[in-house]
Amino acid sequence: MSESSKGSSLAFGQVVIGPPGSGKTTYCHGMQEFMGRIGRKVTVVNLDPANEAMPYQCAVDIAELITLPDVMENLKLGPNGGLIYCMEYLEANFDWLQEKLAAFRGHYYLFDCPGQVELYTHHDALKNVFAQLAKWNFRLAAVHLVDSHYCTDPGKFISVLCTSLSTMLHVELPHVNVLSKMDLIEQYGKLAFNLDYYTEVLDLSYLVDHLASDPFFRNYRRLNEKLVEVIEDYSLVSFVPLNVQDKESMRQVMQAVDKANGYSFGDQEHRSLEALMSAAVGADFHFTSTLAVQEKYVQSQDKAVAEEVMDL
């Protein structure tokens, strides 16, 4: 995997990013198991120096290089400053990472990244790490996880859209935004619109109008309108719904990522022409996956209403 060997084979993978609690480690564990069952050799690389309890089989662990508790104790830094220092230290020790990854040639890589949002919107250390991996012939896609409960709050959802857009522009990788924990969405409250409104990020003026019904947000309508204009002008953000417990949901996310990083167009797995064309077009599976989740959500809502009526 030397920089000078242009003829070296390509390596494919995902960098799993997102805010704390969005389910990155759970996703890596689930995707490792799922891909293993379909015959892929998967290597999980932990790049989170604060990640101590890992449910997955970790082949490469940044803890062998540096850990957040050690940095905080020795340099008297807080958690945020400590994470930034760790990522800068990793950037300064590319040779360590290259040596570790070289032992897993021919594998598919899952990079479990830290949860500090600033690392993906402002700071350059992780961005430079991803760029260096690209020089080593890694073809990566960023999988940005967002907790689905933000859909139940219009104000938070606009904030999530802004963060997702900023991350896409800063990281500069093929990008797949994922609404995680879809199996729990009915616990967070009733959605103002159908699920496809949120996954496809449809006309956001309706969201601004919905916000205006709240006395607090009414005073910030003009600000929200401008934020929405920026999101719609770029027209880059959309989401794939994910339930890690659902094999079909995992398959659809994997298909989206394979299309983004180019894996689906290679010869690593036997594919029929129909499967290849489906990945190339990619127009129908988003709708299908959203429709399936929407049906489950509506059924749970109907069941809840029926139970309330029975109680009365």
Whether 6 is covered by a domain: the verdict is: no
Residues paired with 154 in a beta bridge: none
pLDDT tens for each residue of 137-178: 999 999 999 999 999 888 999 999 999 999 999 999 999 999
Q: What are phi and psi of 213, to 5 degrees?
A: -75, -15
Whether 163 maps to a domain, the answer reads yes
How much is the average pLDDT of 241-260?
93
Inside any domain, residue 221: no
pTM for the full predicted model: 0.84
Per-residue confidence at 9, pLDDT binned at 50, 70, 90? confident
298: domain CATH number?
Answer: 3.40.50.300
Q: How many domains does the chain have?
A: 1
In a domain, 58, yes or no: yes
Judge whether 2 lies within some domain: no
Specify the pLDDT at position 272: 47
Which residues 6+ apart lie within 8 Å of 198 measured at CB?
Answer: 151, 157, 179, 191, 239
What does the pLDDT look like over 49-64, one tens digit per residue? 998 888 988 999 999 9
In a domain, 27, yes or no: yes
Q: Which helix (H) or strand (E) holds 112?
A: strand 108-112
CB 157 within 8 A of CB 208: no
Question: What is the token pair recorded at 71?
Answer: 């940095």
pLDDT in tens, 284-303: 445 555 556 656 655 565 56
- Residue 29: domain span: 11-201+237-310
